[in-house]
Amino acid sequence: MRNKSFFIQAFAALFILITMSAKGQQANVNLDYNPQKDTEGLIPFSAPLNSPEVHDDHTVTFRLKAPEAKEVKLTGALRTALGKGREQIPFNKGDDGIWILTVGPLEPDMYAYHFNVDGMQICDPSNTVAAFTAMPPYSQLVVHGDSPAYYDARNVPHGNVTRHIYHSNVTKGERELYVYTPPGYDPDKKYPVLYLVGGSGELPSNWIYDGRANLILDNLLAEGKAVPMLIAIPNNQVIHRNHPKHVELTFDIFEKELRNHVIPLVDKSYSTIESSKGRAISGLSMGGRHTMFIGFRSLDLFASFGVLSAGDTNAETSIAYFLNDPKVNDKVEYLFIGQGAEEANGFMGARCVALHEALNNHNIKHEYYVGGLGGHDWSTWRHLLYYRFLPNLWRNK
């Protein structure tokens, strides 16, 4: 009896240990690389059911409890990865009022999506992984591989991300700025600074939570593939995105914000290389155009540039001052133009190609790259950051 009692107690203790250490569906305990794999049979806290559920064969099941709905469809950037373009993908309704859709298999990555319920776009109410931007939020699908990806939190030294709040005399209000410092940051050492900006509707936090810029650089540094640097992520939303004169006004306003507030704050707060050779500016989409139209005319501030999924079909005239500068190759350290494979044949891709061709026409040294499996979305911008742009910054090429 004693042996039997001991066995029961030991089994119970082992069961509790296994249960406590298992990773459940969206448990949010650790920064898991597979947060949407169902390992415990538990649903996300306060959610009505499991959605999305990512299976080991990389197929994904979405569920929505909406017994009164007439039609439910999947929409969002995820459609690009599924080869559906702008087509919305219909769910099937069960007798229990639960709508179900299984798609895939998908390549391991993070994908943005929405549900469309009777014509109304909503987030997945069961998904705890969401993105909050200057536009309506969306849900994130995390398709895991066999181990943490290049954008995941790995067991490596990590840098810190600090949020600064400051007053701007340019925009007449309080603004935010995120600054990443690398592992082992030493205030007695001088560091180069990458000023990294977002696209239309993006907030500075999106480069952290969607772009995973800090984790990507952590991993690159641990792999010996990047130079230790600071990343400053300012808010490049400086005028209402739907303002009728947004295009005419945004570049001058954001340049003034950079010169008057952002760069002085970073240089005062951190140990930085206070010269153009120690500064880079990069951005995605609208931020890529900020990089062009502000960065290219501010060679006193920046010597390295990353234009991600952006460009200009009128580049020959719009940046003629840059293209025709006889000393531009002496002033520029590194110029990168990149876009995703799925966006290369569309309007966004044409803008990138036009910029690339204009630079070629004027013999301006630069790198042009098309890669990754994504379209005009975060899958592309994470890929460009890890595989090309960050590893080549300040490499004395």
Q: Is residue 8 pLDDT above 70, yes or no?
A: no
Which tokens go with 315?
């580049």
Which range among 6-15, 142-151, 216-225, 292-301 shows the weakest confidence by mean pLDDT? 6-15
Q: Tell me, what's the pLDDT at 396?
A: 65
How confident is the model over 262-279, as a mean pLDDT? 97
Q: Is residue 370 pLDDT above 50, yes or no?
A: yes
- E strands within 34-159? 53-54, 60-65, 72-75, 89-90, 92-93, 98-103, 109-117, 120-122, 130-131, 138-143
**Domains 53-143 and 160-392 equal at CATH topology level:** no
Q: Which of 13-22, 90-99, 336-345 has the highest mean pLDDT?
A: 90-99
Q: Is residue 386 pLDDT above 70, yes or no?
A: yes
Q: Tell me, what's the pLDDT at 70?
A: 96
Q: Is residue 183 pLDDT above 70, yes or no?
A: yes
For residue range 101-112, what is the model confidence (pLDDT) as tens digits?
999 999 999 999
CATH number of 160-392: 3.40.50.1820
Q: Is residue 77 pLDDT above 60, yes or no?
A: yes
C-alpha 133/C-alpha 396 separation (Å) is: 36
Which tokens go with 231?
């990343």
List of residues 6+ apart from 89 with CB closer than 8 A:
73, 74, 75, 79, 82, 101, 103
Q: Is residue 337 pLDDT above 90, yes or no?
A: yes
C-alpha 134/C-alpha 137 separation (Å) is: 8
Query: Domain spans of the chain?
Result: 53-143, 160-392
pLDDT category of residue 201 using cuts at 50, 70 and 90 = confident
Q: Is residue 19 pLDDT above 50, yes or no?
A: no
C-alpha 224/C-alpha 243 separation (Å) is: 44
Q: Is residue 367 pLDDT above 50, yes or no?
A: yes
Percent of the chain, pLDDT > 70? 93
Q: Tell me, what's the pLDDT at 134?
A: 66
Higher-pLDDT residue of 131, 23: 131
- E strands within the chain? 53-54, 60-65, 72-75, 89-90, 92-93, 98-103, 109-117, 120-122, 130-131, 138-143, 160-168, 173-181, 193-197, 230-234, 279-284, 304-308, 334-340, 367-371
Percent of the chain, pLDDT > 90? 75
Q: Tell me, what's the pLDDT at 248?
A: 86
CB 49 within 8 A of CB 36: no
Q: Can you give the pTM of this predicted structure?
A: 0.90
Fold of 53-143: Immunoglobulin-like (2.60.40)
Closest CA to 140 of 123, 120, 152, 116: 123
pLDDT category of residue 347 using cuts at 50, 70 and 90 = confident
How confident is the model over 146-167, as a mean pLDDT? 97
